[in-house]
Structure formats: C-alpha cells, structure tokens
C-alpha cells in the first residue's frame, strides 16, 4: 500500500514512520523546505523517543521520502494543524482545506482520504466532503472519506499509535471499512467504526473531559489557598475513593489539544456549552494565579523560570502557560531568566545561570531534571533559596530551602 501523509509534524511524522515499518511506501509532505530536506537526510525536527531510528531505516530501505509535493497513492492522510479563530473560538479549517485542494490533482478513483487533524463536529460533512464532490467524486462509491482522529500522548506517540483503540468515522459505512483497512496496517488496538460526526465530537470530548477535570483541580487549588487547606493532601485522600480521580492543579493548560479542542464544541453551541467554557476560563486564569503568588513571595527581583515545555520531558511548548507567566512577570518589571533542558533557544540559559542571584525559582514543567535538583548550586547562588513548584514535582528539599507548592500557598499573606 502507498500512503501520502500531508503534514510532517508531531502526528504526521510518527504516523508515516509506522506505515513504513509495516511495509508501506510513504511520502511525507510538508510545506517547510528545511523540514523536508532534513527529513530526507534522516534528521528529525521533533523530540520523540524511537522516531529517529524508524525514519533512518525507512530512508535507507527506500520506504520513506519527504517531499514538498504530494504523489499518487492509495491513501492520503491529512495531519495538519487546526488552530482556532480568536474572534469566535471556531475551528480554523484553512490548512485542512488547503491540504485537500493540494491532493486533489493526485487522487484517483478508489483512493481513501483520511483527515486526522482534530476538527469541529460536522466539519467532514459540511466542509470537507463538498471539496471532493465538487471535483466529481461520489463519496462512498469512487472515493472514500473518513475522519480518524489521533489520540496520542507526546513522548509516547509511537507506542500509543500502535496500541490505542482508534475511532474510524466514515462518511458512509464503506468509507469506514476502507479507512480501517489503512490503519489495519499497523494499529493493534481496536478499530471502532462509526460516522464522521461522531468521531469528530468524540475526539473533542476526550480532551474536553480532561480540561474540565483539570479546571476542577485548579479551582480546588485556589479554594485551598483561600481557606487554608493543603490541596495536594485533599487530592491524595479523595482519590482513595474507588470512583474518584481528581486531576492535578498546575500553572494552566498547554498543548495544542486540551487548550483548543473544547472551544470547537463551545463555538458550535455557545448557549449550551456552559461547563466547557467555564473550565476553559478557569484554566486560562491559572497563569495570573501563579503570578499573584509569585508577587506575594517576592515583590521584585530576579525570577528563575524552570521549564517552558507544557509537558514534562518533551520540547513541546505549544500554547504553554509558561509564556503568559513570563509576560506577566516582565510587564511587572521582574528580571526573568529561563532554563529548559529540553528546549534549544538562544535566549534560555543553563541551570546555574538561571538560579544565580535569583529571588525565587518557579517550576513550570514537570521535567525529570527538576525532581531532584542540584541543591548545592542553588544554595551557592541564592541568598535565601525559595522554590515555587507549580507542578508538584520536587520530591524533597533540604531544610534550609523554602518550598511552596499547591499544598501550602495559604501560608502566603493576602
Ligand atoms: N495538566 C494539568 N493537570 C493534569 C493533567 C494535565 O494541569 O492533571 C496540564 C498539563 O500540564 C498540560 C495540559 O494539561 O499543560 C495538557 O496535557 P496532557 O498531557 O493532559 O494532554 P496533551 O494535550 O498532551 O494530550 C491530549 C491527550 N488527551 C487526553 O488525555 C484526553 C492525548 O491523548 C491526545 O491525543 C491529545 O491531547 C490530542 O492530540 O488531542
């Protein structure tokens, strides 16, 4: 089987890699020339365990090539970004539409087109299907169209792409069948056949479920800071109940999924989607909450920010709440030094330079490096070392270092 994957990002590249592993020929298409050139040399632009090795082998045995242009194939998989439109929170389908138009000249009767990008409910029926119908195809008869959302966790993408169950939402049952034959190449989880609109809303609801639960944990953290209770203990105790799973409070919600997908539902039914919108607002308020607590700890001076990635142990900083916190601090006149061992950025500094002469260390990513830091460096470079751990990752600090987390923010005076 030959597969053409449009978009070689966090999802498209690992997906392409797994198809090559199961013997398919893959063309990975991307609009960025450097990405294409580097991929063809075996250099990958995202940090994802196990990915580089698979791509290297696929290039060597001629199963993978990157290109600026699509090619004829049996199946076309679209994995391009879907941002939201700031005015009304609706799903911006422009990259998906562009990708559909780009593959049109290469499509032949009998091909399968799959959109993996997260899209708002009804997008496949109302926007994507008409593009191919206008070109003369009858969907379900001579062209097969489906929405098959990805559901993977960065850092574990390869493993999850293979083992997670997969929603296959065809425009017709025949479309679902054809799309499931494509994923059957490497997916070992269950392939669940359904309609496109059900697949679209299921995907958006998965991330909304998590966003709402995180909002509940963040609200709890704020309540506890106000009334003087240890939020982390409450979560630990309550989660001993067999049917309770309180999530973890944090500096806010980042990433391209939880911070965006709930809006796609909200935009479709703004009068009805009340909890969904309130959860978004609550999570969006967390950078301000972190900032206010930083001000209580130290009203001015230098702040060492540890971690910008929204997710621990990755270089992924998309929609990271860290940026909002940094902006709030800089606007207030703080000197901000940023250290993230997973992200290459000329403006970021090493651990020692970050903490040196700082008034406060603020942890914003749950990287393993921050679990047990070099406390000698901290003590040698800070007068009265204080750490504010917004990710509850620090395991234990020496007694002469003050640690704040969501368990004891109430100690700070209002
Ligand atoms: N977070 C908290 N508290 C928690 C859990 C997470 O504050 O208890 C924060 C994280 O720090 C991060 C954000 O939420 O900023 C999102 O992190 P995440 O690891 O929960 O999720 P994503 O966005 O990386 O991946 C999600 C996953 N969806 C679900 O778990 C339902 C993933 O399976 C999806 O494939 C992905 O979205 C996607 O592509 O939609």
Residue 147 in contact with ligand 1 by CB distance below 6 A: no
Output DSSP code: residue 84. B
42 and 171, same domain (yes or no): yes
Domain housing 21:
2-196
177 and 308, same domain (yes or no): no
308 and 171, same domain (yes or no): no
159 and 20, same domain (yes or no): yes
Q: Which of 3, 357, 344, 381 lies closest to 178, judged by CA?
A: 3
Contacts of 266 (CB under 8 A, 6+ apart): 89, 273, 276, 277, 280
Active site residue 177: no
Residue 166 in contact with ligand 1 by CB distance below 6 A: no
127 and 26, same domain (yes or no): yes
For ligand 1, what atom is nearest to the CA of residue 206?
A: 31
Last residue of some domain: 171, 196, 221? 196
Q: Which residue's alpha carbon is at the smallest distance from atom 26 of ligand 1?
A: 257
CB of 189 closer than 8 Å to CB of 165: yes
414 confidence band (pLDDT: 50, 70, 90):
low
CB of 276 closer than 8 Å to CB of 262: yes
Parallel, antiparallel or unpaired: strands 25-29 and 64-67: parallel
Q: Which residue's alpha carbon is at the smallest distance from atom 7 of ligand 1?
A: 250
How many structural domains are present in the chain?
Answer: 2
For ligand 1, what atom is nearest to the CA of residue 321?
A: 15
Mean pLDDT over 345-368 rounds to 98
Which tokens is 73 given? 């194939």
Contacts of 89 (CB under 8 A, 6+ apart): 263, 264, 266, 267
Residue-wise pLDDT for 249-293, tens only, equals 999 999 888 999 999 999 999 999 999 999 999 999 999 999 999
Residue-wise pLDDT for 41-90, tens only, equals 999 998 889 999 999 999 999 999 999 999 999 999 999 999 888 888 88
Q: Give 408 Cα–ligand 1 centroid separation in angstroms.
A: 25
Residue 65 in contact with ligand 1 by CB distance below 6 A: no
Question: Considering 63, 178, 197, 203, which one is annotated as catalytic?
Answer: 203
Parallel, antiparallel or unpaired: strands 302-306 and 386-389: unpaired
Q: Quick check: is 278 in a domain?
A: no
Q: Give 135 Cα–ligand 1 centroid separation in angstroms.
A: 38
Q: Quick check: is 93 in a domain?
A: yes
126 confidence band (pLDDT: 50, 70, 90):
very high
189 and 70, same domain (yes or no): yes
Q: Give 389 Cα–ligand 1 centroid separation in angstroms.
A: 19
What's the CATH code of the domain at 389? 3.40.50.720
């Amino acid at each position: 089987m030959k597969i053409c994957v449009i978009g070689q990002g966090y999802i498209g590249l690992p997906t392409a890699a797994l198809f090559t592993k199961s013997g398919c020929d893959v063309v990975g298409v991307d609009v960025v020339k450097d990405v294409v050139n580097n991929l063809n040399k075996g250099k990958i632009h995202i940090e994802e365990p196990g990915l580089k090795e698979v791509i290297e082998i696929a290039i060597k045995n001629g199963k993978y090539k990157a290109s600026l242009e699509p090619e004829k194939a049996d199946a076309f998989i679209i994995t391009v970004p879907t941002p939201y439109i700031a005015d009304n929170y609706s799903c911006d389908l422009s990259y998906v539409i562009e990708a559909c138009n780009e593959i049109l000249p290469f499509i032949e009767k009998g091909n399968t087109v799959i959109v993996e990008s997260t899209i708002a409910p009804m997008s496949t029926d109302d926007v994507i299907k008409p593009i191919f119908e206008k070109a003369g195809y009858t969907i379900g008869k001579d062209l097969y169209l489906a929405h098959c959302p990805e559901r993977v966790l960065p850092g574990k993408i390869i493993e999850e792409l293979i083992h997670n169950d997969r929603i296959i939402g065809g425009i017709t049952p025949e479309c679902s069948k054809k799309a499931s034959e494509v994923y059957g190449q490497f997916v070992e989880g269950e392939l669940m056949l359904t309609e496109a609109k059900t697949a679209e809303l299921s995907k958006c609801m998965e991330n909304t479920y998590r966003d709402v639960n995180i909002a509940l944990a963040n609200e709890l953290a704020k309540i506890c800071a106000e009334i003087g209770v240890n939020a982390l203990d409450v979560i630990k105790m309550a989660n001993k109940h067999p049917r309770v799973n309180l999530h973890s409070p944090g500096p806010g919600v980042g990433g391209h999924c939880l911070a965006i997908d709930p809006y796609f539902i909200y935009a479709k039914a703004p009068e009805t989607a009340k909890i969904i919108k309130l959860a978004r607002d609550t999570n969006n308020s967390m950078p301000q909450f972190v900032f206010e607590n930083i001000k209580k700890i130290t009203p001015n001076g230098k702040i060492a920010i540890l971690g910008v990635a929204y997710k621990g142990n990755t270089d992924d900083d998309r929609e990271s709440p860290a940026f909002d916190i940094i902006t709030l601090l800089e606007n207030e006149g703080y000197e901000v030094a940023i250290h993230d061992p997973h992200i290459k950025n000329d403006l970021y500094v090493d651990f020692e330079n970050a903490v040196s002469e700082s008034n406060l260390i603020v942890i914003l990513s749950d990287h393993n490096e921050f679990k047990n830091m070099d406390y000698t460096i901290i003590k040698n470079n800070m007068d009265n070392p204080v750490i504010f751990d917004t990710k509850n990752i620090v395991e234990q600090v020496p007694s002469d270092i003050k640690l704040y987390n969501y368990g004891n923010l109430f100690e700070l005076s209002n």
